[in-house]
């Protein structure tokens, strides 16, 4: 297992040694009290609702991407998370569904963030520090994603509107107007590309299966879940890589119109040579990820490192 450089380890050890024992005891006590909430069975049930919602959003994105590829509907919503939730809001009973989706995803974010409470003490031990930091960062990142999606759902639930493409372009424009903003945009775009690479690696190695309680799931379902997850993660990897590349292009050319988020990335794929078929494959991948998320909701395992 990789370890931190010795100089960094010694510095961190000195910092940890300077923390008074009573502070560490209080931190442990606070973490234990918080875990009583994050480990509560009811929160897990609500988190399962969030996972179902997460899967449904990806199924809708897959459908919206398909409509772009085959021009099924000229008035289709943007093929991104906001577009999917806007589609829900316009359906019968959509506002009620949005409240369920939003609160479920919020519970999922809290449940996922609770994993940090299981791992943070590893930061105090030199041999486990790097692994613990990676797991904590990954869990927090997932919690942020779920929380952000919950926020969008609740924005629609109260009758407001949100457009991810406009928000991305506004942020890009604001950054380009400040010194060093273009550099920040390039760094951000490359980070998104890197996330795409991580998703591709996770899909290729089937690391996502650690999020499924395989002991609870019937053995006959495991190959199907793994296949759906692989296709889904690879499709998301392509979309993230293209989205990040568009941000970098916007920074280099100062053309804000190219920074269009997930919807823009899927449209860019559709505009490429053989784009209809490429986008169809990506849309199927998003739908496959949605079904995988539903399987994860049925057999959830919060711990991503076991």
Residue 192: partners with Cβ closer than 8 Å, 6 or more residues away? 240, 241, 243, 244, 247
Its sign, for the CA torsion 97, 100, 106, 112, is: negative
Domain edges within the chain: 33-298
- Beta carbons of 290 and 53 less than 8 angstroms apart: no
For 59-86, the pLDDT digits (tens) are 999 999 998 888 876 666 677 888 888 8
Give CA–CA dist 107/153, Å, rounded. Answer: 13
pLDDT over 70 (residue 260):
yes
Least Cα distance to 77 among 100, 88, 158 occurs for 88
Q: Residue 175, class by beta-carbon neighbours within 10 Å (0-12 exposed, 13-18 middle, 19+ buried)?
A: buried
pTM of the model: 0.85
Selected residue with higher pLDDT from 103 and 30:
103
- Beta carbons of 118 and 303 less than 8 angstroms apart: yes
| pLDDT for the residue 24 | 58
306 — pLDDT class (breaks 50, 70, 90) = very low
| pLDDT for the residue 259 | 80
């Amino acid at each position: 297992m990789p370890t931190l450089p010795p100089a960094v380890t010694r510095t961190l050890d000195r910092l940890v040694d300077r923390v008074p024992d009573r502070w560490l005891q209080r931190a442990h006590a606070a973490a234990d009290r918080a875990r009583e909430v994050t480990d509560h069975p009811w929160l897990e049930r609500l988190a399962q609702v969030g996972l179902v919602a997460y899967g449904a959003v990806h199924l809708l994105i897959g459908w919206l991407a398909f409509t772009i590829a085959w021009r099924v509907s000229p008035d289709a919503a943007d093929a991104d998370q906001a577009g999917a939730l806007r589609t829900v809001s316009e359906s019968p009973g959509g506002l009620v569904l949005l409240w369920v989706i939003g609160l479920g995803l919020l519970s999922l974010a809290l449940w996922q963030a609770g994993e940090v409470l299981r791992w943070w003490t590893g930061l105090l031990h030199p041999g486990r520090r790097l692994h613990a930091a990676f797991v904590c960062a990954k869990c927090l990142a997932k919690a942020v994603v779920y929380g952000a999606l919950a926020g969008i759902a609740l924005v629609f639930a109260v009758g407001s509107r949100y457009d991810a493409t406009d928000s991305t372009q506004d942020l890009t424009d604001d950054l380009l107007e400040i010194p060093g903003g273009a550099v920040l945009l390039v760094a951000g775009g490359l980070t998104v590309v890197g996330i795409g690479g991580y998703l591709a690696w996770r899909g290729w190695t089937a690391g996502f299966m650690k999020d499924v309680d395989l002991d609870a799931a019937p053995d006959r379902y495991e190959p199907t879940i793994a296949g759906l997850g692989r296709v889904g993660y690879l499709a998301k990897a392509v979309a993230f890589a293209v989205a990040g590349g568009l941000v970098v292009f916007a920074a280099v050319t100062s053309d804000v119109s190219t920074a269009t988020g997930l919807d823009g990335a899927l449209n860019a794929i559709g505009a490429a040579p053989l784009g209809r078929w490429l986008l169809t494959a990506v849309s199927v991948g998003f739908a496959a990820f949605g079904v995988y998320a539903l399987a994860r909701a049925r057999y959830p395992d919060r711990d991503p490192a076991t």
